Amino acid sequence: MAARGRTDMAMSEAQSMIDALDRELAETATAGTIRITSPVDGQVAGIDVRAGQAVGPGTPLLKLLPDAQEVTFIVDAACSTRSPFT
C-alpha cells in the first residue's frame, strides 16, 4: 500500500510539473512579437527564414534593398522589344 501511495504522489508531482511547463510554453508563445529593425531604410528583397524556424544570433533573416541604393539594369537589345513585366 505504501508503494502505491508513493507512486500516486510521484504521478501527481509529475503532472503538476507538466501543467506548469504547459502554462510556461503558452505564456511564451503568446508573450508578443519580437521587433526586428534595420540600421537602414529599404525594401525587403527576399526572406531567408520560415515562420517558426529557430535562428541564432547573426543568422541572416532577409535581404534588404536599401532605399538609397541605385540599381542599374542592363537589357540586351534583342530582349528590349517586349517587357517581361506585362
**Low-confidence winner among 8-12, 69-73, 78-82 (lowest mean pLDDT):** 78-82
pLDDT digits 0-9 by tens, 23-77: 887 777 666 666 777 777 888 888 888 887 888 888 888 888 887 666 666 666 5
Q: Is 32 left (phi over 0), alpha (psi -120 to 50) or beta?
A: left
- Rounded Cα gap, residues 62 and 43, in angstroms: 10
- Rounded Cα gap, residues 64 and 36, in angstroms: 13
Task: Please report the pLDDT score of residue 78 as a whole number.
Answer: 56
CA-nearest of 33, 42, 30 to 68 is 42
At 85, list the grid cell: 513585366
- Rounded Cα gap, residues 61 and 36, in angstroms: 10
Using a cut of 0.95, tell me whether the model's pTM lies above it: no
